[in-house]
Structure 1
Amino acid sequence: LLLVFVSFYYVIFSPRQTRAIYRYFRHHRHNPVIQSLINTYRNYFVFGQTIIDKVAITAGLEHKYTYEFDGIDHIRQLAKDNSAGILISAHVGNFEVSQYFMGEFDKQIHLVTTDEEQRAIKSYLSSIMATPKTGFIVVKDDLSHVFAINQVIEKKEMICFTGDRFVDGSKTLTAELLGQPARFPAGPFLISSRLSTPVLFVYVMRERNRHYHLYARKAVFNHRDAQALLQAFTQSIEQILAKYPLQWFNYYDFWKA
């Protein structure tokens, strides 16, 4: 019940974020005006639910949730081949709980992050876990993160990038998303396309009744073709958002960034 009022609070008192989400529904999902307004509120509400779920699952209440797998065979193949893997996700759904889908795999996930606020949340969640299952690699100006990524690959563990946000001044690539061009961080796609390592697009989406659905899709692209990898990524996001339009959690004007 509290989440109802908290969501209204953010709709009213976070005007920049609210405008960005409204534009997403109105101009990119082509919802009518009233429906766009309603969905903007619903988006905040669902985002709040994912945060609550994240804390609950990480604190040991994962048994209160149910889980469904779609494409898990791709991840099982990595384990069978004793191969490293690269996962690329986005700020949709609740990817940070994905580690609880992968209990059967003896591979640590290392999340590459540039977002200080999100990093602080991840560090907090990691601190309350008895045995942290996720490592963190912070992108730095001295490129030391590249060496850290190579070390993870050599250990045959998993690297995870969020492929939809970049730092001002960093190199970007452009691709179409939901009918309009947008900029994406070049790093995840340049690095992933040059390594001889399988690349999967992975999303963890919230459904009703505390149910989560993991989707894993194998990326198909030519070696060293970062642009083709990016285009495959944007197509996968569009497919996910077609089914879960409320779970787009980029609270800024994504297409004008």
Structure 2
Amino acid sequence: MSHWAQMEERGIIWGMQALLKVYLLFGRKVLQFFLYPVVSYYWLVNGKGRRASRQYLRRVSTFMPESKIDTGLLGSYRHFIGFANAIIDKLAAWSGAISLQDVDYHGREAIQRHIQQGEGVLILGSHLGNLEVGRVIAYLGNKVTVNVLVHTKHAEKFNKLLNRYAEAGSMNLIQVTEINAATAMLLQDKIEAGELVVIAADRTPINAGSRVAPARFLGKTALFPQGPFILAALLKCPVYTLFCLKRGGRYGIYFDPFSDGLSFPRKQRETMIRRCVQDYAERLQHYCLKEPLQWFNFYDFWTDEND
């Protein structure tokens, strides 16, 4: 199984740079005209991505037959188009074109209370929907810094590109390949300063020696990282999940409490971590089934074991 970090993420950077320039000069309607050639090319040359997309669509279809989701090549192409539209939403979010009036919040009050009390929060994100739209939380009430952990240099490069055009805000990108003691200490300082730390919890670590845990996801076993949950225990802070879905032209941001503070006693450590991973996988599944074409993990996600 190819690791997601080995995929040709840099292959879309040139296309996204061009799309960003078109978006800033001419707006979304004109950009849509250029969107399909770029996506079509990327879909044609990315055979692994196509196969992974269809694998995922088949899992959704098997798990939820009533969805009647297309599992063929056309369904995969639509999946890629959904990803491209999410990229446009990313551009809009970072350039300030998406305002608070475009967003419906669910569970925001709890996050605001933590911010007002000067209490930092760890937020478990994912590759479902558009996490970047959630950056508007940096402009709510008290000024709060949002620290986002990114795992590849290509992602950081792209986000730096977008950040040139962003409004003056408090978004801090931290590029990490693994969470070590130095990273944990840095993030502890962020939490103690009352800031938000966001980490995706649906991708296995880049470092092959890092720990993963199996969990049932859409009816089959998949591997999830243990790192975000171990980090939560180290930071000793409230933990929430964050999902941002686009429905009917509007964005819905869902904050759900995950834990008041995780703790893993030594004798029960492995069992409790696995339970946390499974709880997260079930929550991801719940939101994934609301908008299946908005989960953008174009690599072989499930294990090959017979279960």
TM-score (norm 2): 0.76
Counting only pairs closer than 5 Å after superposition, residues 165-204 of structure 1 correspond to structure 2 as 165=203, 166-169=205-208, 170-204=210-244
Equivalent of 1:147 in 185, 198, 215: 185
Work out the CA distance in 2 between the residues paired with 1:255 and 1:24.
Answer: 9
Residues 125-149 of structure 1 show CA distances to partners (whole Å, capped at 9, x for unaligned) of 2232241421122225664212211
Q: Is this contact kept in 1: 2:188–2:235, CA < 8 A? A: no
**What amino acid is aligned across from residue 215 of structure 1 in structure 2?**
Y
**How has the CA–CA distance of structure 1 residues 64 and 5 changed in structure 2, closer, same or farther, with 3 Å as cutoff?**
farther
Q: 1:34 to 1:158 in 2, by over 3 A?
A: closer
SS of the equivalent of 1:62 reads coil
Query: Pairwise CA RMSD of aligned residues?
Result: 2.4
Counterpart AA for 1:147:
M
The reply on whether 1:240 has 2:287 as its aligned counterpart is yes
Cα deviation code 1:203-249 (max 9, x no counterpart): 1112233x211011100486323323222211111111110100110
Match of 1:111 in 2: 148
Report the CA distance shift for 1:68/1:33 in structure 2 as closer, same or farther (over 3 A). Answer: closer
- CA distances 1:35-91 after superposition (whole Å, capped 9, x unpaired): 112321111111111111211232232249711111112212212332110000111
Q: Which has the higher contact order (CA 8 A, sep 6+)?
A: 1
1:9 alignment partner, SS class = helix
Structure 1: state its 5+ residue gaps. none
Name the aligned partner's letter for residue 188 of structure 1. Answer: P
Counterpart selection for 1:21 from 26, 43, 53: 53
**Distance verdict in 2 for CA 1:223–1:45, change over 3 Å:** same
**CA shift for structure 1 position 178:** 1.0
User: Which has the greater radius of gyration?
Assistant: 2
Deviation at 1:196, TM superposition (A): 2.5
CA contact (8 A) 1:241 1:247 kept: yes
Partner of 1:36: 71
Give the paired residue count: 256
Gaps of 5+ in 2: 1-32, 265-271
Indicate if the aligned counterparts of 1:111 and 1:161 stay in contact, CA closer than 8 A.
yes
* CA–CA separation in structure 1 for the residues paired with 2:159 and 2:244: 16
Structure 1 distance, partners of 2:175, 2:186, is 9
In the TM superposition, residue 119 of structure 1 has moved relative to its aligned partner by 1.7
How many angstroms apart in 2 are the aligned matches of 1:41 and 1:81? 46
C-alpha distance 236-13 of structure 1, shift in aligned 2 (>3 A): same
Assess if the C-alpha contact under 8 Å between 1:29 and 1:178 holds in 2: no
Partner of 2:267: none
Are residues 218 and 162 of structure 1, via their aligned partners in 2, closer, same or farther at CA, if it must alter by over 3 Å? same
